[in-house]
Amino acid sequence: MAGIPSEVEESLDASDGAGDVSTSLDMTTRLFTALHVYHDDTLHSAAMNMAIDEALLEHATAPSIRFYRWHSPALSFGYFGRFADVKSYTRESDLVRRWTGGGIVFHGDDLTYSIVIPGGDQIFAESSMSLYEKIHRALVNALADRGQRATVAAIGDRGAGGSNAGYNEHCFANPVRADVMVNGRKVAGAAQRRTRSGLLQQGSIQGVDLANGLAERFAQALSANRSERTIAQEILDRAREFAQQKYGTDSWLRMR
């Protein structure tokens, strides 16, 4: 995903080699004073995953992160993307148009997450770019905890094999400002949607070791005060409405 296509003026390296993430972050201010953490192990369709994210944005009372899985190989593409660019994948992937922007992302072997910040939370006042960058700085620290040196993308970074293609090209071939890079290769990107209700960031992490508790370390890097939650039935019911009326419809998929 690449939803913040502006450029950055300098390298933003948030890791100084391998180190303990809890120790390094004790020296800084973590992004959220409190964070609700959802480990959603249910295998959802692509439409339902998008729908749960929107329903969570609608109902969240505190900053929240949801890690989730897919019931089959899936492809998501940004709100402004063209269906013509992805229709050839229909037979092999569960296709869905995201509510957020960005390019084409393949899902199934990645660690997919969403972060929701309610409009009433103090941090919502920060710019979208600032939040995007700080979230990815936290991820860099989480990767460093297991010896993986990562950086936050700087101006001109195009990644290994990257190009100057449009935003609707494959997202992981086209890093933008504040994406996460390892050895010149993009390993994490995201896209955002900001409404009166709050901010939704949908992100994908791939091409690195996703085992050894990366999700837990990422959440820890975002907040020292975390509480494990399960998705309420009210949110699931609302998500089913979104999936049936929006994300799972042909009109939404082919709107452009």
Active site residues: 171
Give a three-class secondary structure readout of the chain: CECCCCCCCCCECCCCCCCCHHHHHCCCCCCCCCEEEEEEEEEECHHHHHHHHHHHHHHCCCCEEEEEEECCCEEEECCCCCHHHCHHHCCCCEEEECCCCCCEEEECCCEEEEEEEECCCHHHHCCHHHHHHHHHHHHHHHHHCCCCCCEECCCCCCCCCCCCCCCCCEHHHCCCCCCEEECCEEEEEEEEEECCCEEEEEEEECCCCCCCCHHHHHHHHHCCCEEEECCCHHHHHHHHHHHHHHHCCHHHHCCC
Which tokens is 151 given?
Answer: 């950086």
Pairwise CA distance, residues 175 & 171, whole Å: 7
Compute CA 218 distance to the chain's CA centroid, rounded to the nearest angstrom.
Answer: 12
- CA-angle at 112, arms to 108 and 114, nearest 5°: 150
